[in-house]
């Protein structure tokens, strides 16, 4: 990392220090909108992937080195300290927190993702994984996603709601082990009905693959799928966004199914040793 | 996919049909041991990454096509239908379930991973993500990991315990939304004390990066870190393995923090709209 950039990282201690990342890459419109929103709340450091990293989930880079480059958003954000790295959203958080920043941030935010991250999609989302990673590191963290895949989508209302939610978290502190995922409807700001606290909707991907043949006559597949929501309860992330609310879902990273521990303990595991099941 | 291989996939319906994958790649010793163990229980189909995919988490491949190639384990496993794919463990499960297999398997297993997947490491593990993916698709699923990074580790005891656990699940059916993660100690089989149902230990990575300079005088980073266990309760995955037990942890993929919903609903979100927080 250039020492000049390292110098820049010495932050003032009076304003909140906010770390920003995403999974669409540092040049995406959503991270610009989020950076602008956070710039109004505190001192901002951006450490984001150089390239798009959608659907990378919680992957980390172990098999190749990670490089860091200065980045400048230009215009009204040219004062913001930004670094582009050759890695995943989780790499960004790890590298920022343990190598690039000179003190622990007060808040970490990820997004604003182009496309919602609701229901089962939570487990695939690089945006949410980045926020999870900083939460694991003891930092209050929020993932933001806009419910639109339109490259010309207006991120300004989402940025304004990101500011409101971030401000609330800076004031109130999140419970331990919990990260927030906010999904914002892609509608004009005056049509947004407010903020709702939700749970993940039950859903299932209707998977599909498109098989094609290359010029050498070898077959290959493209993944595609359609998300089916199996749950129309008004307290779900999906329904909330459909109803014109900003959905805020608390997510935990402890995946232990506590409710299931006792059930499994009643299973007589040793019995399985008898081979009668085998024909 | 070659039509000959497709033909091979038409499975007998009398024995359980078991799908096998991993994240260390199809040539790793652990998947061979797991395939051998499952071959004693039913008809086995292996769909695994062509190359190592450790720490890829729940990533899926969207930006490039996926290719499928026949693979033969040789020797005593030369009759097993195996396919190597150019993708992640999650891709393997999606492609197997929705394109390559002609009926839904009765069980999906992933591993045997070289190295344990305990405590917070659950969120990074490709082995567990693969089993989670098949569980999301409604199939009873188990991830297996051996607590050793030794390339010459003995996978036979782990394979035998994989058989016991798989047999139990085939008989008993898992609760909805729950996948099992089994961690097996790397000790002689007669020293293993039995099977324990556990929860994830609280832990934290003590992160670190090694900064180096390349021949062009540019800096780059390698990730490294040390896992600190912050929890020595005997009901944890980590302690159980240390005590010589096979640890079986039920994991859920719904990440909603239900306990936190009510707390967050008491937050007065609208208040955050006032700008007094800004200096």
- Rg of chain B, C-alpha, whole Å: 21
Distance from the Cα of residue B248 to its chain's centroid: 13
The pTM (predicted TM-score) of the whole model is 0.87
pLDDT band at A263 (very low <50, low <70, confident <90, very high): very high
Cα separation, B149 vs A274, in Å, equals 31
pLDDT at B271: 57
Nearest CA-CA partner of B144 in B166, B120, B162: B162
| Complex prediction ipTM | 0.85
Looking at chain B from residue 176 to 235, which residues have their Cβ under 8 Å from any Cβ of chain A?
177-178, 194-195, 197, 199-200, 204-205, 207-209, 211-212, 218-223, 225
3-state secondary structure A48-86: EECCCCCCCCCCCCCCCCECEEEECCCHHHCCCEEEEEC
Torsion angle of the four alpha carbons A40, A43, A49, A52, in this order, in degrees rounded to the nearest 10: 0
pLDDT in tens, A158-187: 999 999 999 999 999 899 999 999 999 999
Contacts of B220 (CB under 8 A, 6+ apart): A65, A66, A67, B211, B212, B213, B214
Check if the beta carbon of residue A29 is closer than 8 Å to that of residue A36: no
Could B197 and A265 be called an inter-chain contact, meaning their C-beta atoms sit closer than 8 Å?
yes
Residues of B in contact with A67 (CB under 8 A): 218-221
pLDDT at B7: 44
The lowest-confidence range among A52-56, A60-64, B63-67, B87-91 is A52-56
pLDDT at A12: 40
Residues of B in contact with A57 (CB under 8 A): 56-60, 90, 129
Cα separation, B68 vs B90, in Å, equals 14
pLDDT at B54: 65
Check if the beta carbon of residue B176 is closer than 8 Å to that of residue A271: no
Check if the beta carbon of residue B251 is closer than 8 Å to that of residue B122: yes
Residues of B in contact with A90 (CB under 8 A): 57, 124
Nearest CA-CA partner of B176 in A257, A253, A239: A257
Work out whether the CA dihedral B251, B254, B258, B259 comes out positive or negative: positive
Distance from the Cα of residue B10 to its chain's centroid: 26
Residues of A in contact with B56 (CB under 8 A): 56-57, 59
Burial of residue A208, with CB atoms counted within 10 A of its CB: 0-12 exposed, 13-18 middle, 19 or more buried = middle
CB atoms within 10 A of CB B99: 19
Nearest CA-CA partner of A108 in A92, A124, A88, A84: A92
């Amino acid at each position: 990392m250039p020492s000049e950039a390292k110098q820049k990282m010495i932050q003032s201690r009076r304003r909140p220090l906010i770390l920003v990342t995403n999974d669409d890459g540092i040049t995406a419109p959503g991270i610009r909108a989020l950076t602008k929103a956070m710039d109004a709340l505190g001192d901002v450091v951006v450490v984001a992937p150089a390239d798009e990293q959608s659907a990378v989930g919680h992957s980390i880079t172990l098999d190749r080195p990670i490089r860091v480059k200065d980045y400048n958003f230009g215009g009204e954000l040219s004062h913001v300290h930004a670094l582009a790295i050759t890695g995943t959203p989780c790499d960004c958080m790890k590298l920022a927190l343990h190598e690039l920043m000179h003190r622990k941030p007060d808040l970490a935010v990820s997004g604003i993702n182009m496309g919602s991250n609701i229901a089962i999609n939570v487990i695939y989302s690089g945006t949410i994984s980045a926020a999870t990673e900083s939460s694991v590191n003891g930092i209050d963290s929020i993932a933001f996603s806009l419910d639109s895949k339109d490259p010309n989508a207006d991120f300004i209302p989402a940025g304004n709601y990101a500011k409101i939610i971030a401000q609330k978290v800076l004031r109130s502190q999140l419970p331990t082990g919990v990260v927030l995922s906010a999904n914002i409807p892609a509608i004009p700001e005056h049509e947004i009905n407010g903020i709702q606290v939700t749970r993940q909707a039950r859903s299932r991907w209707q998977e599909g693959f498109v098989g094609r043949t290359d010029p050498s006559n070898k077959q290959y597949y493209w993944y595609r799928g359609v998300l089916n929501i199996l749950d129309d309860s008004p307290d779900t992330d999906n329904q909330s966004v459909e109803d014109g609310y900003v959905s805020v879902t608390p997510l935990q990273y402890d995946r232990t199914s506590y409710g299931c521990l006792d059930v499994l303990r009643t299973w007589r595991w040793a019995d399985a040793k008898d081979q009668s099941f085998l024909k």
